[in-house]
C-alpha cells in the first residue's frame, strides 16, 4: 500500500509539472533579448571574462573582454579603459559623418539598428555595463542540483508551486547551501534574515536558511503567498527579489499584471537592473536546466542526498552528539548546515529541539538509545546563561577572570590572547565553560569524560601567574589606534563591539530599558530578542504603525526583569556577531578607498555605489564619524570587498583566524592596515 501511495504521488508530481509548464511562465517580446543575453552569460562566458553591453538593450554587446583573476582594482581598471573606448565609438556615430567611420564604429552602428530604437544612441554612452560570465559557476550549480532537485520538486508540489521553480536556486545561489551574499542573504534560496525568520528558525546557533530542505519549505510558502497576492507567477518570482510590497506598488502604478508592461513602465528607486532582469534570469536558467546536455554535453550530477531526522530532547555539544551517532564532527557539520559553524568551532551547545540529520545507514533507534543512556549531568534542559564579556577601557584579564570565577590562564587561551594580541576596549571575550572542539570522532566514553570534566564549577581565579603571562593578564585595555599597532605584527581577528552602541540602561522600577539604535537593527529585531509583539515597543514609545526609527535614536523597550535583560543583551550581541562571522567566512576586504560625500548622497547611495557594502562594515571603517549625520565634503573610507578564493580558505585552514574578525583601526592617510596590504 505504501509503495502504491508513493507511485501515485510521483505520478501527481509529473502531471502537475506538465500542466504548469506553459502558460504560467510567459515570455513577452520585451524580455526575449534579456533571456537570450542571460543564456550567453550562463553558458558561453567564463568567470574570467565578461560582456560590455547596453543596460537597456542587452543584446547590444559591444565586446567580450578578459578581466583575468587579478584584484578588483586591476579588473576595474581594465573595464574602465574598455568602456572609454566604447564611448568613443558611440560618440563617433553621433558626431562624425558616416563616410569617416572606422570598421569598429560601423559595427557598433549596426548593433543599434538591429537591437534598439532610433533614439537609443542619445544616452548610450551612459548605459554601458559590464556583466561577468557565469559559465563555470552554472555548470557547478547543475552538478550540485542533483543532490536536492528531486526533494525540492516534491516539496514545491505540496504547496502547488510550479515545479519549474525548482530551478530558481540556479539564479540565487548556484545551488550552494553555504552561499552568502554581501547584502546578508543566505543559503540555497538566499533568504534575508528579515524574511527568513517569518518561516524559519534563525539565531546565533541555528540558521535554517542554510538547510536545503528546510529552506525549500520556506521558499515554497513564500512563493505561494506571493502568487496568492499578485495572481501571476512572473510577478511572484520578481517579488522574490524585489519584495512583495514593491511589486504591489508596481501593479498599482502601471495598472497591469503583465511583467512586460511593468518592466517597460514601472519606475522606482529600487526597481533597477537586477529586479528588472530577475524573471529573465529565471527563464534563461530554467530553460538551460531543463535541457542541460544541450549546453553542457558532458555534465554529471551529484547523487541525491538522503538522511534520517531526529529532534534533540536536550542541549548537547557537537563532540558529544557526533560521538553518540558514531560519525565525525565534520560529517555532522556537513549533514547539518543549519547548525552555524561557530557551534562546531567553539563546541557550543546545540539547542534542544533542533532537527538533526543523521546518515541513512545509521539506526535512529540505536542513536536514541545511546543518548538515553547518557548521565543526567550531560542532559542539559535549559539554555546556558550569557557567556560573553565586552571589554571596557581599563579592564585587564585577571580582573575579568575573577569576576566570572574562571581561570585567567583559560580565559587568555580561550580568546587567543598573547603579548602581540592583547585585549582592547570594545573586544568581546568568550568566557570559558564549553568543551574544546574535537576534530576526530571519539568513542562515546571519551567524549563523556571530556564533557563531564567541564561541568565542574571553575575555582576562583587565584592561581599563580607565571612571569611569561603576567604582562598579558595584567595589561589594561586601551582604545585601538595606529600608534599601538605594528605594521609587522600579525593581525588579530576579533569582534569589535565598540562600533555598535550596545549599552542598555535598565530601569527595574519601570520594567524597561533605554537603548540606542545602531546599524542593522529594526523594531522587529528588538521584539524578536524580547519575545514580544512589535506593538508593545511602539506603544511604550508612543509610535504609530507607520513610524520609523533611525540610527542614534534612543528607544525604550519593555523588560520585565534582569534575566530578560541578560537574554536581550546576549541575543543582540550575537546577532551582530553572526552578521560579521557570516560575512568574513566568505568575503575579504582587499583595500580602502577615500570618498568625499557629495551633496544629497544618502547612506543607501554610498553602500550601493560600487557593488554592495554592508552598513555595519561601512561603520567599521568609519568609526570616527556618526553615520546619522553625513554632510557635503565629509571624507569617509569605502572598503573594497572580494569573495575569498580557494587559496584564502587553504591559508586559513591551518590558522586560528578562520571565521573570526579582522581587528579594526581607523585607516590613516599613509599607513594602511597590514592585513589589507598583503
DSSP letter (8 states) at residue 335: H
- Contacts of 97 by beta carbon, 8 Å cutoff, 6+ apart: none
Q: And the C-alpha cell for 518?
A: 545602531
Give just the sign of the alpha carbon dihedral 84, 90, 93, 96: negative
Contacts 24+ apart (CB under 8 A), 243-248: 246/270, 246/271, 246/275
pLDDT less than 70: residues of the chain: 1-22, 384-386, 418-422, 433-494, 653-678
> Per-residue pLDDT tens for 321-351?
999 999 999 999 999 999 999 899 878 899 9
Q: Are the beta carbons of 480 and 491 closer than 8 angstroms?
A: no
Q: What is the distance of C-alpha 522 from the center of its chain? A: 18
Distance (Å, whole) CA 204 – CA 348: 11
Q: What is the pLDDT of residue 674?
A: 33
What count of other Cβ atoms lies within 10 Å of the Cβ of residue 60?
A: 22
Write the burial class of residue 495 (CB in 10 Å: 0-12 exposed, 13-18 middle, 19+ buried): buried
Q: Are the beta carbons of 82 and 73 closer than 8 angstroms?
A: no
In 73-150 the beta strands, taken as DSSP E runs, fall at: 128-132
Q: Are the beta carbons of 120 and 264 closer than 8 angstroms?
A: no
Partner residues linked to 506 by β-bridges: 513
> Per-residue pLDDT tens for 7-52?
444 444 444 444 445 578 999 999 999 999 999 999 999 999 999 9
Distance (Å, whole) CA 214 – CA 151: 11
Distance (Å, whole) CA 494 – CA 497: 9
DSSP string for 295-326 = HSTT---PPPP-EEEEE-SSBB-HHHHHHHHT
Smallest Cα–Cα separation from 235: which of 253, 252, 254, 258? 258
Q: What is the pLDDT of residue 435?
A: 40
CA distances from 138 to 35, 44, 78 (A): 15, 10, 24
345 SS3 class: helix
Q: What is the pLDDT of residue 22?
A: 55
DSSP letter (8 states) at residue 482: G
Smallest Cα–Cα separation from 346: which of 205, 183, 492, 249? 205
Distance (Å, whole) CA 659 – CA 303: 29
| Backbone φ, ψ for residue 179 (5° rounding) | -65, 140
Q: What is the pLDDT of residue 478?
A: 62
The full set of domains in the chain, from first to last, is 2-27+136-295 (1.10.530.10), 48-132 (no CATH), 306-479 (no CATH), 498-574 (3.10.350.10), 577-676 (no CATH)
Helix (H) or strand (E) holding 615: helix 615-620
DSSP string for 353-395 = T-EEEEETTS-HHHHHHHHHTS-GGG-B-SPPPP-EEE--TT-
| Backbone φ, ψ for residue 386 (5° rounding) | -50, 135
The pTM (predicted TM-score) of the whole model is: 0.83
What count of other Cβ atoms lies within 10 Å of the Cβ of residue 110?
A: 10
Write the burial class of residue 461 (CB in 10 Å: 0-12 exposed, 13-18 middle, 19+ buried): buried
Radius of gyration of the chain (CA): 28
Q: What is the pLDDT of residue 676?
A: 38
Amino acid at each position: 500500500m505504501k509503495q502504491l501511495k508513493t507511485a501515485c504521488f510521483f505520478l501527481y508530481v509529473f502531471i502537475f509539472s506538465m500542466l504548469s509548464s506553459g502558460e504560467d511562465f510567459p515570455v513577452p517580446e520585451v524580455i526575449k533579448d534579456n533571456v537570450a543575453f542571460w543564456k550567453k552569460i550562463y553558458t558561453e562566458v567564463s568567470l574570467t571574462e565578461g560582456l560590455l553591453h547596453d543596460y537597456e538593450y542587452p543584446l547590444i554587446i559591444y565586446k567580450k573582454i578578459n578581466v583575468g583573476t587579478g584584484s578588483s582594482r586591476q579588473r576595474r581598471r581594465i573595464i574602465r579603459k574598455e568602456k572609454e573606448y566604447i564611448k568613443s565609438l558611440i560618440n563617433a556615430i553621433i558626431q562624425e559623418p558616416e563616410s569617416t567611420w572606422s570598421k569598429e564604429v560601423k559595427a557598433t552602428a549596426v548593433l543599434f539598428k538591429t537591437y534598439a530604437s532610433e533614439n537609443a544612441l542619445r544616452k548610450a554612452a551612459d548605459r554601458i555595463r559590464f556583466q561577468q560570465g557565469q559559465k563555470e559557476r552554472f555548470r557547478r550549480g547543475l552538478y550540485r542540483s542533483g543532490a536536492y532537485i528531486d526533494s525540492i520538486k516534491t516539496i514545491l508540489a505540496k504547496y502547488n508551486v510550479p515545479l519549474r521553480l525548482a530551478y530558481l536556486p540556479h539564479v540565487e545561489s548556484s545551488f550552494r547551501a553555504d552561499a552568502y551574499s554581501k547584502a546578508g542573504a543566505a543559503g540555497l534560496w538566499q533568504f534575508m534574515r528579515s524574511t527568513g525568520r517569518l518561516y524559519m528558525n534563525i539565531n546565533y546557533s541555528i540558521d535554517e536558511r542554510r538547510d536545503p530542505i528546510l529552506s525549500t519549505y520556506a521558499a515554497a510558502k513564500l512563493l505561494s503567498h506571493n502568487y496568492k497576492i499578485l495572481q501571476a507567477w512572473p510577478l511572484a518570482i520578481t517579488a522574490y527579489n524585489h519584495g512583495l510590497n514593491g511589486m504591489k506598488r508596481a501593479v498599482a502604478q502601471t495598472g497591469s499584471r503583465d511583467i512586460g508592461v511593468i518592466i517597460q513602465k514601472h519606475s522606482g528607486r529600487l526597481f533597477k537592473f537586477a529586479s528588472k532582469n530577475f524573471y529573465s534570469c529565471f527563464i534563461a536558467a530554467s530553460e538551460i536546466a531543463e535541457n542541460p546536455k544541450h549546453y553542457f554535453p558532458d555534465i554529471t550530477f551529484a547523487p541525491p542526498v538522503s538522511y534520517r531526522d531526529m529532534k534533540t530532547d536536550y542541549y548537547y555539544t557537537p563532540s558529544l552528539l557526533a560521538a553518540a551517532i558514531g560519525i565525525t564532527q565534520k560529517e555532522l557539520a556537513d549533514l547539518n548546515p543549519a547548525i552555524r559553524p561557530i557551534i562546531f568551532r567553539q563546541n557550543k551547545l546545540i539547542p534542544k529541539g533542533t532537527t538533526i540529520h543523521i546518515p541513512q545507514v545509521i539506526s535512529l533507534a540505536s542513536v536514541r538509545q545511546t543518548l538515553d543512556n547518557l548521565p543526567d549531568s550531560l542532559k542539559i534542559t535549559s539554555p546556558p546563561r550569557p557567556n560573553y564579556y565586552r571589554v571596557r577601557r581599563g579592564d585587564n584579564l585577571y580582573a575579568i577572570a575573577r569576576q566570572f570565577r574562571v581561570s585567567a590562564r583559560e580565559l587568555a587561551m580561550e580568546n587567543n590572547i598573547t603579548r602581540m594580541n592583547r585585549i582592547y576596549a570594545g573586544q568581546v571575550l568568550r568566557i570559558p565553560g564549553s568543551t574544546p572542539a574535537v576534530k576526530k570522532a571519539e568513542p562515546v566514553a571519551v567524549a563523556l569524560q571530556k564533557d563531564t570534566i567541564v561541568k565542574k564549577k571553575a575555582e576562583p581565579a587565584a592561581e599563580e601567574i607565571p612571569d611569561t603571562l603576567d604582562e598579558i593578564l595584567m595589561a589594561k585595555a586601551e582604545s585601538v589606534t595606529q600608534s599601538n599597532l605594528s605594521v609587522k605584527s600579525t593581525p588579530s581577528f576579533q569582534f569589535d563591539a565598540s562600533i555598535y552602541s550596545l549599552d542598555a540602561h535598565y530601569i527595574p522600577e519601570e520594567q524597561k530599558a533605554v537603548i540606542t539604535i545602531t546599524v542593522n537593527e529594526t523594531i522587529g529585531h528588538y521584539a524578536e530578542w524580547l519575545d514580544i509583539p512589535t506593538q508593545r515597543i511602539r506603544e511604550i514609545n508612543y509610535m504609530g504603525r507607520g513610524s520609523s526609527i533611525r540610527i542614534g535614536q534612543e528607544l525604550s523597550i519593555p523588560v520585565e526583569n534582569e534575566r530578560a535583560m541578560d537574554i536581550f543583551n546576549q541575543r543582540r550581541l550575537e546577532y551582530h556577531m553572526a552578521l560579521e562571522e557570516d560575512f568574513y567566512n566568505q568575503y575579504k576586504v582587499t583595500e580602502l578607498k577615500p570618498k568625499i560625500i557629495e551633496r544629497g548622497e544618502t547612506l543607501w547611495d554610498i553602500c550601493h555605489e560600487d557593488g554592495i557594502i554592508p552598513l555595519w562594515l561601512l561603520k567599521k571603517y568609519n568609526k570616527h564619524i556618526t553615520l546619522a549625520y553625513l554632510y557635503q565634503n565629509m571624507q569617509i573610507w569605502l572598503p573594497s570587498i572580494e569573495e575569498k578564493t580557494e587559496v584564502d580558505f587553504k591559508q586559513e585552514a591551518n590558522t586560528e583566524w578562520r571565521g573570526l574578525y579582522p581587528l579594526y583601526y581607523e585607516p590613516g592617510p599613509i599607513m594602511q592596515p597590514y592585513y589589507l596590504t598583503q
